[in-house]
Every structure is written in structure tokens, then in C-alpha cells.
Structure 1
Amino acid sequence: MSKVGVVVGGGLLGLEAANALKQAGLDTHVVEFAPQLMAVQLDQAGGTVLKDKIEDLGVTVHTQKATQTIEAGDTCRYKMVFADGTALETDMILFSAGIRPSDQLGRKSALTLGERGGIVIDNHCLTSDPNIYAVGECALWDNKIFGLVAPGYTMARTAVSHLTGGDAEFAGADMSTKLKLMGVEVGSIGDAHERTEGALSYTYLNQPEGVYKKLVVDSEQKYILGAVLVGDTSDYDTLLQYALNNIELPEHPESLILPSSDAAPALGADALPDTRLYARA
């Protein structure tokens, strides 16, 4: 009977799989090659807070680990040996290491493929053959593979529009997401990594409560470019509407992620100890 389980991959599906192993009563570990969990959706600080919260729930997280070999174990069925010389024994290994486009049909049809796979499409979802369309996870648009169902639906609508004489074009997809991972609230919107030129950010960290929020804005601080929320996604819907509808930000954008200050008491002179010190101008 398995007692220890390892999930290779610290993305969305990997963490969901880890939750399933934990619920099944296994001593659960997550092994991630990147320096943090959910590296696509979260920045480094958000990944750190998520790691801490997940480990508080009893799942051990190993980041920056590249599996070199899997051998027979000494105390468990298997032993995973990592590139840094460390090892981890486990009875079960579940791989959740991203998606790979199923492009075999395109290859057989001599369609243009991306360097790392995927059938290349244009803004109408047309392949290199003007009589063939591709949509979904097999399609490579702007050197991107979209691993969610919503972009696939948008691609399908675009292809139908083109087939019927419409002018719709595929211009990418909103990859914003809000979910609960092992009970931990996580949200990501737009440019969470501040990759837009001139981008600025506001951050809020409440370490005792395990809450991290980041708001990414343009250089003039007028519009939202992205956001990261870990531990509390109550602001997600509002921030998403600002981002999707290009709504101009309030005078103090940080107010959108900071908690209300109403609970902060004023400190009067009567609250100071008798040995209080005064500052002189």
C-alpha cells in the first residue's frame, strides 16, 4: 500500500493532483523545476506565500529540483535522484509537467509546425495550408500554446467566422484565473510579471495571515496591466473589470488592494507610557 506520493510539476494541475493525494491519506510532496510554484501565473513573492500556505496544510514543496533518475528505493518503492545530488523516496510518482501539443496529424500533412511543436496558425486560425484550420491545444498562435478551454472556443468562433465570410480575428486570450488550490485562494490577471515596458507595481503583504496582493499599472498609473492575489481574492472581480474594460484607475490605485484603514486606532498622548520620549523639532 502506498504511503508516500510525489507530484512532479507545481502548476495548476499539479497542485490539484497533490490535493487528491493528500486527501487519500498519503504523505504528499510536490517537486517543481522552477524556483517557485505556479511560475506562469504568479510572481516570485506570490509563489513564496503560496508555498508557505501549502506547506502549512501538510504538503512538502521542493522547488528548483530537476529529476535525473528514478531508481529502486530503500524505504519506498522508488527513489528520485535530483541533479543537485539530493534524493526523495516515494511509493507513487504522478507527472503533471505541462502540455505538449498533439500535432502528429499536422506533421503528416506537411503543415508548418513550431520549433517546439504545435501547428502554426494565423489570426484567422488558418494553417500554412489555406484549406486547413487548427484550433485548441494543437494550434500555435504567436508562438503560444493555450492550455485552457476558453481560448479554444474563441479560436473555433474565429474559424467559423472566416469560413462564413466574417471578419473576426483571433488576437490572443485572456489567461486571467481565479481558483482555490487546496483551499488557498489564488488569482492572476494579465501582466502579473511586470513585463510591459514602464510598468509599475503596488504590493501588499500580510505575512501572519498569508495574504499577498500585487497591482501592476502602466507608467502613468492610469490603467491596470495585471495583478496577483494569494490568500484573498475578494478584490479579483473588481480588478478584472478594470483590466478588461480599460477603466481609468482612481487617484490612489493602491486603495484597490489595501485593506480598509478604519480599524487603525489613533494613538493619543494618554496611551503613551510614563517613560515616553518626545521628539523635538
Structure 2
Amino acid sequence: QVQDVARVCNAVARGDLSQKITVPVQGMVMIQLKDVINAMVDKLGQFAKEVTRVSQEVGTEGYVFLTYAISARRYARDDTMAELPTHVRSIAKVTKAVALGDLSKQIEVDARGEILELKNTVNGMVVRLRALTAEVTRVTMEVGSKGQLGGQAHVPDVEGVWQELMRNVNRMCSSLTDQVRSIAKVTTAIARGDLTQKIDVEVEVEGEMLTLKRTVNSMVDQLSAFASEVTRVALEVGTQGILGGQARVEGVQGTWADLTRNVNKMATNLTDQVRSISEVTKA
């Protein structure tokens, strides 16, 4: 009897839960000991089977809707494992919301250990993304819709791709601000009759902004040449008495070409009239 009890206990210690006390025993104490040990083997076998199933389904197959029913008694790990589906569902709900662009969700379930660290990490990610989105939206609205230049996005504690994104948005806003202000400076100078200003070469532009820069600078050159020629002809004819002068401005079109022609026509008419009067008076 004692040898059979020892055999079963040694088997349990080695992880073999297939052994039971099978020999007949005598005496109340030995009968109770046999029943207790055999019941312990049954419960340990059931517990090991359930833990194996749960760990496979959660860890390998991804099932998070399990119930754990070990009928004889609840072991200490049962409550901890039972919380796992709630944690996983909550994390999945929030990360799915983030993927869909909804940054209003956060993980709210109680957690401990590594699950708590994961909860804090995901919630921190949502907070940073929300702040980043709000700042980028604010800056783009100010610059793109309201015309308020000079704005910059400021989000503390962002790193990696999010920091690079914020840096690129700020660089775009800064570049656009410099370009628009430089163009505004030149066009304002033109409106005031100052044709000495041009869009600064320090402002690096590409694409359509480069085309606009070249157009504005070319316009300044043409207006400057036009003004210079008209002034020269007006001075020669009107002040210095040098007749026959003509304004020559390359590349002007539209109103500027019409104005050049009219000035030249006026100068020609005035020259013809003065010379005609001069011939008559000489005669």
C-alpha cells in the first residue's frame, strides 16, 4: 500500500498525471489517503488540460472569448486569465478606432503588469496623435484658409515619424510664408512705383511658385524698362527739345505695348508738328 502511494506521488512530482493508486487498501486512514491522492491527480490533470487549452487558444489561435470552467475548484490564475479577453478586446477596439481615424477612444479597463504598460502606451499614443492632428489642422487652416502666415505646429514629446511629419508641415508653412511675403513685398513696391525690388533669390522655390517668381521678376524688369524708356522720351522731347525720340521696350504686351505705342505716337506727332512750324517760321 505505502509503495503504491509513493509510486503515484513520485509520478505526480515528475509531471506524470496518468498514475493512480489502484491496489486495495485497508484501514480508514489509508482509504482516505487513497481517495485524496486519486482526486488530486484528477484535478491536477483537469487543471493542466484547461491551462494548456487556454494558452493555445489565446496565444496561438487568437481566441479571446473563452470561459474557464474547472468545476472542482478555481485556481489562483483563473481570475487573471479571465480578464485577458476584456483587455484584448479593449485594446483592439481602440487601435481599430485609431486606424479608422477616430482618436476619441481610450483603453479604460483596469489592468496590471505588462497589460498596464501596454494600456498606458496605447493611450499615450492616442493622446499624442490627437495633439498632433489638432496642431496640424490648426496650422493648415490658418495658412491655407484664413491666410494667417507664420504659424507653426508645436507638439511636445513626439518622436520618429510623427516628429518628422510635424517638421515637414512646419517647413512647408515656413517656406510658403517666406514665398508669399516676398511676392507681396515686390508687388506692394510696384504699386508704390518702386521698381527696384525683386523676389529674393534666398527664397528657394520650385514648381508653380518658381514660375510665379520668374513672372513677377520679369514683370518688374519690363516695367522698369518701360518706365525708363517713357521717361527718356518724355525728357528728350518735353524738356531737352530733342525731337524724333522713340521708346523701345522689348517683350511688352497688352496695355504696356499700347501705352508704348501711344507715347511714341505722341512723340512723333509732336515732332512733326514742331518741325512743320519750324519750317514755316523759317520760310
Q: Which has the higher strand share?
A: 1
TM-score range, shorter chain: under 0.3
TM-score (normalised: structure 2): 0.21
Larger C-alpha radius of gyration, 1 or 2? 2
Greater relative contact order (Cα < 8 A, sep 6+): 1
Q: Which has the higher helix share?
A: 2
